[in-house]
Amino acid sequence: MIPAFFVLPKEGVKSLRPYLYEKLTSYEKENIYPFHMPGHKRRIKNLIENPYAIDITEIDGFDNLNDPQDIIKQSMEETAKFYGTKKTFYLVNGSTVGILAAITATCKRGDKILMARNCHKAVYNAVRLLELDPIYLPLTYIPERNMFGGIDEEKLCEILKKEEGIKAVIITSPTYEGIVMHIERIKMWINPYKIPLIVDEAHGAHFPFYENFPQSAIKKGADIVIQSLHKTMPAFTQTALLHICTDQISAEKVQDSISIYQSSSPSYLLMAGIEYAIHYGIENKNSFVEYEELLNCYRKKIQRLKNISLLEKEELKQYGAYDFDPCKLVIFFQNTKLTGNEISDILLKQYGLQMEMAERDYVIAISTICDSKEGFDRLYYALKDLDRKIEMENGEDSSNKQEKIHVMTDGQIKRYLPSKALEMKTKKCNLKEAKGAVCGSYIYIYPPGIPILVPGEQIKQSDIALIESYLESGFYVKGITREEIHDIMSVSEWEQAEPIHHERRMAIISSDYDIMSVSEREQAKPIHREQQIEKNNSNNEESSAVGQICYSITVIEENDRKRERNSV
């Protein structure tokens, strides 16, 4: 039964259909198994019969998360004792708030920050908001897997010697793929410079609860550690923790920064969910033992398949990785032309298994303490069936192998700070013609949200090739506009063309906006349809391009680049 409050009387509107609520309740009944976050996997019994009965605001006796003095303060102090931290903060707007707050507490406007390229987009947002100068920390490249590994410590030392005034170092550990960095060694290298180390441990919230998991950065020397409880523990989406682990960081500054970014009306249900997730982890030690046995059993089964393999700890050590989280099932497919995106679709549509993420060469399944044997069974038998089908295809076609497109290993060319680039005038440019231009927006795939290009970086041919490979493989690349060309015009012809009224679609129909800006459309002269110049002729070769798909990228206008030539 749909709650009555979903019907909203309004003049001219008799009711509002609860589309999202209906879709959620419908999805709950489908037989789709979640190998994705949140970590509770929708299997924890609801202890709250009526959540509305205990949904309150900051009333007497219930403290204030943004200025804790009473029960919330006591709760967070008990949590800090369990983790062994100087101070722990509850976050109800995800690790995003923790990352923004940590950087704000350690950096002033315009400071330099040393960050790994694979940092979460929240780090890039902090760089933008605080107008920081990002220095990128190189990662080692794993050629066998066509992916990145751990921090390149040699390059780290070179950067520390070369770049003066770095105010913070932030890295991601574990990565989306479960790769754990050598936190102790990284801290050792940066210690002489008295630079605080922030670790985004969003995907490692489960580490402190079981001794056979990789050790948390909390115990390895990090100054601030941020964890997303909802990713790998039985907690509600948006719940996270920020830990202050040393005396190098001011707790007052962190608290102040959190209160800036976090909701001023934090949910008590989410806060209670944070407590319960930690309580569950502490009280269910035997469940972690059973989960480890189950996980190891199915990892071994999957590794015995001929055309499918899992990322393993042993192959990562030579590439700067300190450890590996086995709870992440990073699944590679060999001897097939299918991409990770296509494999993910097959697993969902044919086997009812929803993956967490797809990359071009692999898919990721997140497993947690809340997964069932039935779930692991379904995944294994689906992979076994796919393995058999790949083998049959190879029998018919020995060349049935995906073309390898390598990830970027060369450095990016920074022309402007991201904050400056985002303020400059931009225009749309055909992706194929963008070499040498300066990018005017973030270009990335989400998840995980790691930028291919950052505003202010010069676009290289290798960037274009990588973006095109993702597009050809069926990925949605944020920042790239898909357009369908109906009239064939060169770029110069297009720029010289007379503006037309916005009621008539222009020669290009975009998936998310027209090429003209709103102001340009409002000022455009109306013309009659018969005045349109038809560039395509059914009798010439150009007609074959009608309906052709074109991709465009936002770049900084050349005139603006000249004016700001000395910005960086």
- In this structure, the answer to whether residues 162 and 276 fall within a common structural domain is yes
pLDDT value at residue 534 = 40
Report whether pLDDT(524) > 50.
no
Q: Is the per-residue pLDDT at 8 higher than 70?
A: no
pLDDT in tens, 433-476: 999 999 999 999 877 778 899 999 999 999 999 999 889 888 88
Residue 358 lies in a domain: yes
For residues 508 and 433, state if they share a domain: yes
Q: What are phi and psi of 28, to 5 degrees?
A: -60, -30
Q: What is the pLDDT of residue 474?
A: 85
Same domain for 375 and 252, yes or no, is no
What pLDDT was estimated at residue 483?
A: 74
The DSSP result for 338-396, as a single string, is: --HHHHHHHHHHHH-EEESEE-SSEEEEE--TT--HHHHHHHHHHHHHHHHHHHHHHHH
Number of separate domains in the chain: 4
What is the band of 558 on the pLDDT scale with cuts at 50, 70, 90? confident
Do both 126 and 193 map to the same domain?
yes
**pLDDT of 547:** 54
Cβ burial of 274 (10 Å; 0-12, 13-18, 19+) is buried
Q: What is the mean pLDDT of residues 17-35?
A: 94
- The domain boundary residue, chosen from 283, 308, 338: 283
39 within domain boundaries:
no
Domain of 436 in residue numbering reads as 413-563
356-375: pLDDT as tens digits: 999 989 999 999 999 999 99
pLDDT level of residue 50 (50, 70, 90 thresholds): confident
Q: What is the mean pLDDT of the chain?
A: 86
Q: Kindly report, residue by residue over 312-325, the tens digit of the pLDDT.
A: 999 998 999 999 99
Q: Are residues 463 and 377 in the same domain?
A: no
Residue 563: which pLDDT band, with cuts at 50, 70 and 90? low
By the 10 Å C-beta count (0-12 exposed, 13-18 middle, 19+ buried), 36 is classed as middle
Whether the CB-CB separation of 523 and 500 falls below 8 Å is answered with: no
Q: Helices 373-396 and 340-351: crossing angle, nearest 10°?
A: 120
pLDDT for 515: 30
Asked if residue 359 belongs to a domain, the reply is yes
pLDDT at 393: 85
Q: Looking at this protein, which amino acid is placed at residue 130? A: L
Residue 501 has pLDDT above 90, yes or no: no
**Above pLDDT 90, what percent of the chain?**
72
CA-closest candidate to residue 424, choices 565, 566, 567, 557: 557
CATH code for the domain of 154: 3.40.640.10
Q: Are 159 and 114 in contact (CB under 8 A)?
A: yes
Query: In this structure, are 258 and 379 located in the same domain?
Result: no
The pLDDT of residue 48 is: 75
Q: Among candidates 347, 507, 451, which has minimal Cα distance to 329?
A: 347
Residue 228: inside a domain: yes
**Domain membership flag for residue 35:** no
At 45, the pLDDT band (50, 70, 90 cuts) reads confident
Helix 268-283 × helix 71-83 angle, to 10°: 30
Amino acid letter, residue 22? E
> Does residue 408 fall inside a structural domain?
no
Q: Are residues 291 and 242 in the same domain?
A: no
Pick the last residue of a domain from 396, 425, 452.
396
Indicate if 377 and 430 belong to the same structural domain: no
Flag whether pLDDT at 525 surpasses 90.
no
Token pair listed for 151: 């921090």
CATH number of the domain that residue 433 is part of: 3.90.105.10
Would you say 452 and 488 are in contact if contact means Cβ atoms under 8 Å apart? Answer: no
Residues 361, 383: one domain?
yes
- Considering the domain architecture, whether residues 372 and 496 belong to the same structural domain is answered as no
484 found inside a domain = yes
| 418: preceding bond cis by omega (within 30 degrees) | no
* Contact criterion met (CB below 8 Å) for 339 and 473: yes
Residue 78: in which H helix or E strand, if any? helix 71-83
Could you tell me if 75 and 100 lie in one domain? yes
Same domain for 7 and 137: no
- Using pLDDT thresholds of 50, 70 and 90, give the confidence band for residue 394: confident
Question: Do residues 335 and 361 touch, judged by C-beta distance below 8 A?
Answer: no
